[in-house]
């Protein structure tokens, strides 16, 4: 059974393949423009199951084991190829990393089939990785294959379209040279629509097992503790990370020169902030240190919600990260990622549900998500935003 993703938008019908298909962000986008998927592949069994459930198409497994001759002819090749090799979180060995060489499987398939268009997506870091060499290798290979490719990759995020997720990604659009020049792409980021983090929320009474998304008492206590800190420094909202161990006066035994310069800067700023609010911070620290959760990353704080007159964490979007409790204005969420914790919606005192994360990727509500939340979050964190792909596919194909 097919889902009703198909909304023919006046474009000619076409076929496409979905490499590294994940949960099928490309599939939803291209099908809604009149495309028919003729082949998909993903090495991950859970992705293949979800994909089959939704699209009635069984993806192949490891693409390195698929002979290009066994892939049907197609007009568009889509690939959100794995990003660990380029990602800031990974080892960053780029096209020399075995995971980076999957790009050459795309080249192998495109060389054999010569599809009219290629739409590739990757992490933002790919653009600057290895001083731009990785991008140059990719561009060179695609041009050698016979495609028009822009000099620079496009960097785009759903929040530019008013979708409340900040997810800057690289998009590489390729058009076979015999079909003419690439359409030019310009976007006025300054006049973009506003986004509202609360617009994607499910009403609480619609959420099955709401309890599991609610913050625990301990998390609430910890957030309240940081809220008290915020009240102390409200006229001095820190534009730098707060490391509570450095909320003190510095002395000779602190050996700051052992730290890199950037770290020294933050330490000085923490110490200066402390000096300005010494008495209040001292009393706050006494209370904070009584809390046994106030340690490691939980004793760090990153205010990234800009200037506000009466800051209150329960009005914001929060995220427990290895670098501390990060706070954002309620306009958009940080990028969904496959590895870290899900964003917290301050006013609701709960985390985002998988359905809400799917909405951040513009995946329609009729999509059947994986029934295990942990896997659903991971899959959605790896996925691509459907509306962004749709915009680029329309531009390229129309
Ligand atoms: C960044 S995700 C792409 C997600 C996809 N665009 C979506 O909308 O969900 C990369 C995917 O590549 C898959 N993958 C990694 N190595 C692979 C391989 N050798 N063959 C096929 N798929 C692979 C991963 O399992 C992952 O789902």
Instruction: Give 10-residue mean pLDDT values along the chain (398 residues).
Output: 47 92 98 97 98 98 97 97 59 50 92 98 89 89 96 95 95 97 91 93 95 96 96 91 94 79 93 95 96 95 91 95 92 84 94 97 98 96 97 95
| Residue 66 belongs to domain with CATH number | 3.40.50.150
8 A C-beta contact, residue 81 and residue 18:
no
8 A C-beta contact, residue 90 and residue 339:
no
With a 6 A CB cut-off, is 383 part of the ligand 1 pocket? yes
8 A C-beta contact, residue 146 and residue 175:
no
Q: Check residue 7 and give its pLDDT.
A: 46
Euclidean distance between the first and final Cα of the chain, in Å?
A: 28
Q: Check residue 5 and give its pLDDT.
A: 47
CA-78 nearest atom, ligand 1: 6
Neighbours of 3 (CB within 10 A): 17
Q: Are 345 and 241 within one domain?
A: yes
Q: Check residue 97 and give its pLDDT.
A: 53
Q: Check residue 129 and give its pLDDT.
A: 85
Residues 6+ apart with CB under 8 A from 266: 240, 241, 243, 246
Q: Are 157 and 224 within one domain?
A: no
Query: Shortest CA distance to 114 belongs to which of 145, 78, 70, 140?
Result: 145
Q: Are 246 and 283 within one domain?
A: yes
With a 6 A CB cut-off, is 324 part of the ligand 1 pocket? no
Q: Are 207 and 291 within one domain?
A: yes
With a 6 A CB cut-off, is 20 part of the ligand 1 pocket? yes
Q: Check residue 189 and give its pLDDT.
A: 85
CA of 21 to the centre of ligand 1 (A): 6
With a 6 A CB cut-off, is 28 part of the ligand 1 pocket? no
Write out the residue range of the structural domain in which residue 105 sits. Answer: 14-194+371-397
CA of 226 to the centre of ligand 1 (A): 38
CA-380 nearest atom, ligand 1: 9
In a domain, 3, yes or no: no
In a domain, 2, yes or no: no
Question: Is residue 78 annotated as a catalytic residue, yes or no?
Answer: no
With a 6 A CB cut-off, is 23 part of the ligand 1 pocket? yes
Neighbours of 194 (CB within 10 A): 9
Q: Are 292 and 378 within one domain?
A: no
Q: Are 300 and 160 within one domain?
A: no
Q: Are 180 and 223 within one domain?
A: no
The residue whose CA is least distant from atom 18 of ligand 1 is: 62
The residue whose CA is least distant from atom 20 of ligand 1 is: 62
| Strands of 124-279, DSSP E | 147-149, 154-156, 165-166, 169-176, 242-243
| Strands of 150-259, DSSP E | 154-156, 165-166, 169-176, 242-243
CA-26 nearest atom, ligand 1: 8
pTM: 0.91
How many structural domains does the chain have? Answer: 2
How far, in Å, CA of 50 to CA of 376, rounded?
A: 9
Q: Are 185 and 212 within one domain?
A: no
Instruction: Cite the DSSP H helix spans in 68-121.
Output: 102-113
CA-23 nearest atom, ligand 1: 9
Q: Are 264 and 317 within one domain?
A: yes
Q: Are 147 and 128 within one domain?
A: yes
With a 6 A CB cut-off, is 380 part of the ligand 1 pocket? no
Q: Are 114 and 59 within one domain?
A: yes
8 A C-beta contact, residue 155 and residue 168:
yes
Task: Spot the catalytic one: 83, 174, 357, 366.
Answer: 83
8 A C-beta contact, residue 185 and residue 395:
yes
In a domain, 366, yes or no: no
In a domain, 267, yes or no: yes
Q: Are 146 and 267 within one domain?
A: no
């Amino acid at each position: 059974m097919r889902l009703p993703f198909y909304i023919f938008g006046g474009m000619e019908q076409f076929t496409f393949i979905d490499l590294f298909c994940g949960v099928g962000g490309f599939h939803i986008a291209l099908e809604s423009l009149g495309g028919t998927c003729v082949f998909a592949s993903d090495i991950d069994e859970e992705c293949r199951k979800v994909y089959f459930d939704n699209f009635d198409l069984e993806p192949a497994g490891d693409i390195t084991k698929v002979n290009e001759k066994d892939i049907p002819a197609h007009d568009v090749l889509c690939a959100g190829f794995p990003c660990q090799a380029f990602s800031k979180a990974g080892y960053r060995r780029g096209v020399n990393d075995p995971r980076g060489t999957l790009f050459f499987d795309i080249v192998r398939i495109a060389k054999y089939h010569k599809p009219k268009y290629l739409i590739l997506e990757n992490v933002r870091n790919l653009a600057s990785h290895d001083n731009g060499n990785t991008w140059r290798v990719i561009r060179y290979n695609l041009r050698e294959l016979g495609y028009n490719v822009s000099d620079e990759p496009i960097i785009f995020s759903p929040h530019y379209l008013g979708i409340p997720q900040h997810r800057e990604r690289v998009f590489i659009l390729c058009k076979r040279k015999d079909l003419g020049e690439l359409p030019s792409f310009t976007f006025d980021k300054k006049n973009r629509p506003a986004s509202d983090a609360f617009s994607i929320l499910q009403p609480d009474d619609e959420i099955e097992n709401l309890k599991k998304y609610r913050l625990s008492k301990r998390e609430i206590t910890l957030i309240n503790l940081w809220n008290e800190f915020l009240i102390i420094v409200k006229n001095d909202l820190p534009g730098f990370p707060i490391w509570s161990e450095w909320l003190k006066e510095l002395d000779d035994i602190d050996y700051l020169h052992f730290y890199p310069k950037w770290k020294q800067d933050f330490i000085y700023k923490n110490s200066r902030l402390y000096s300005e609010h010494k008495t209040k911070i001292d009393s706050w620290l006494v209370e904070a240190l009584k809390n046994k959760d106030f340690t490691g990353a939980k004793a760090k704080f990153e205010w990234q919600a800009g200037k506000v007159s009466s800051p209150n964490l329960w009005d914001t979007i929060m995220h427990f990260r290895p670098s501390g409790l990060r706070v954002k204005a309620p306009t958009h969420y940080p990028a969904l990622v496959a590895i870290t914790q899900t964003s917290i919606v301050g006013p609701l005192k709960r985390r985002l549900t998988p359905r809400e994360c799917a909405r951040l990727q513009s995946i329609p509500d009729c999509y059947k998500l994986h029934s295990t939340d942990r896997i659903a979050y991971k899959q959605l964190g790896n996925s691509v935003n459907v509306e962004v792909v749709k915009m680029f596919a329309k531009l390229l194909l129309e």
